[in-house]
Amino acid sequence: MSLPESGTIKLSEIKTEFEKSNNLLDYLGEGGVTGSAPLKLTDFYGTSAEVDPIFGDTSLVGSGAGRHNTFVGIGYGSSFARDMNSNWLFGSEYSYGYRSIVRQFMPTMIDCRPGSPYSGERYKLIINYDMNDKSILTGTGTPNGSYKYGYHKSATNSPLTGFNTADDQDVKDEGVIRSYGGSLYGNVTDIKYGTLPDDGFVQMYIEVTAGYEPVDNGLRGLSMSIRTATWELRDPARALERVKKFLNTKKEGRS
C-alpha cells in the first residue's frame, strides 16, 4: 500500500509501510524514496515498500539522458561511437583494427544492496527496435557487429551522465540481443534475461558494438533505433517474500 501523495504524512505511517526505525536515513533509496540526504517527510509522498516488477522503461528517457562510449582495440585507423540524436537512435562506426562501442544508459540507478527487492534478482528485458546499417551513418563498406545489454555497477547512487568516453570498469555485458547478419530488421521485439548483482547500485544499458573485419578497410557502421525497452523482475512475488524475510531478520536482531 502506497503512502499518501499529498497532505499530512506521519513518521508512524512511514514506519508501518517500510517496517524500519525512526531514523530517516535508514530509508534512503527505498521504494521510490530519494537516495540523497537529508530526507524530509514530504520525500515519502507516493512511496511504497511493495515491489514494482517494472524498474526501468523508455518513458524515463529523453533528451539529455546518459550516454557513454568507449573505444577499444589495437591497430591503425580510427573509431567513432556516437549518439545519433536524442530519440533513442544511436550507432557506431569503426575502421580496420578497431572495435567501437556506444551505450545508451537508463538515467536512473537501481538499488541492489542487501535487503533491496532487486538485490540478486533475475530480470527480463523486453525491447522493440529497428536495426539499421551504415546508411544513417557516414561510413562505407559492409557493416558488422551486434546489439548487447547489461549494466554498469557503482558503489554510489550516482548515474553516468553525458556522452562520455570511459573504460569498461564495472560494466557487465549480460548478453547479445541480436547480431547483424547482413539483413536489416524493422519493428523487431526480443526478450532477454539477466541477473542483477547482490550489492551496490546498477544502471541498465543497451549497446551497439561495431566489430571489424581485418580483410576489409574503410569505415563501417551499425545503428539501432529503440522503439520501447522495459526491464522488469521475472518473479516479483519471490523478491517481495525475500525482502520480508530480510526485514524480519533485522527486526529480530534489534529485539
Block residue for cell numbers 562520455: 164
Q: Above 60 in pLDDT, residue 163?
A: no
Q: Above 70 in pLDDT, residue 80?
A: no
Q: How many Cβ atoms from other residues are within 10 Å of residue 11's Cβ? A: 11
Q: Above 50 in pLDDT, residue 142?
A: yes
Q: In whole angstroms, how far apart are CA 248 and each of 79, 120, 253?
A: 53, 19, 9
Predicted local distance difference test score (pLDDT) of residue 202: 92
pLDDT digits (tens, 9 = 90+) for 19-28: 777 888 877 7
Q: Among the listed ranges 24-33, 44-53, 164-173, which one has the minimum average pLDDT value?
A: 164-173
Percentage of the chain with pLDDT > 90?
Answer: 16
Predicted local distance difference test score (pLDDT) of residue 198: 93
Predicted local distance difference test score (pLDDT) of residue 135: 46
The radius of gyration of the chain from alpha carbons, rounded to an integer in Å, stands at 21
CB of 227 within 8 A of CB of 130? yes
pLDDT band at 75 (very low <50, low <70, confident <90, very high): very low
Instruction: Provide CB contacts within 8 A for 5, sequence distance 6+.
Output: 45, 46
**Higher-pLDDT residue of 163, 27:** 27
Residue 84's nearest CA partner among 227, 225, 211 is 225
Predicted local distance difference test score (pLDDT) of residue 177: 93
Q: Among the listed ranges 4-8, 24-28, 46-50, 139-143, which one has the minimum average pLDDT value?
A: 139-143
Q: Where are the domains of the chain?
A: 1-50, 54-237
Give the pLDDT mean for 30-44: 75
Predicted local distance difference test score (pLDDT) of residue 244: 76
Strands 110-111 and 54-57: unpaired
HSE-up (13 A, CA, CB side) for residue 105: 24
Percentage of the chain with pLDDT > 70?
Answer: 67
The whole model's pTM is what?
0.73
pLDDT band at 63 (very low <50, low <70, confident <90, very high): very low
pLDDT digits (tens, 9 = 90+) for 208-252: 877 655 444 555 677 787 888 899 999 888 888 887 777 777 666
Q: In whole angstroms, how far apart are CA 177 and each of 76, 147, 180?
A: 29, 5, 10
Residue 75's nearest CA partner among 221, 223, 216 is 216
Question: What CATH number is given for 54-237 in this structure?
Answer: 2.60.120
Instruction: Provide CB contacts within 8 A for 225, sequence distance 6+.
Output: 88, 89, 129, 130, 132
In the predicted model, what is the mean pLDDT of the chain? Answer: 75
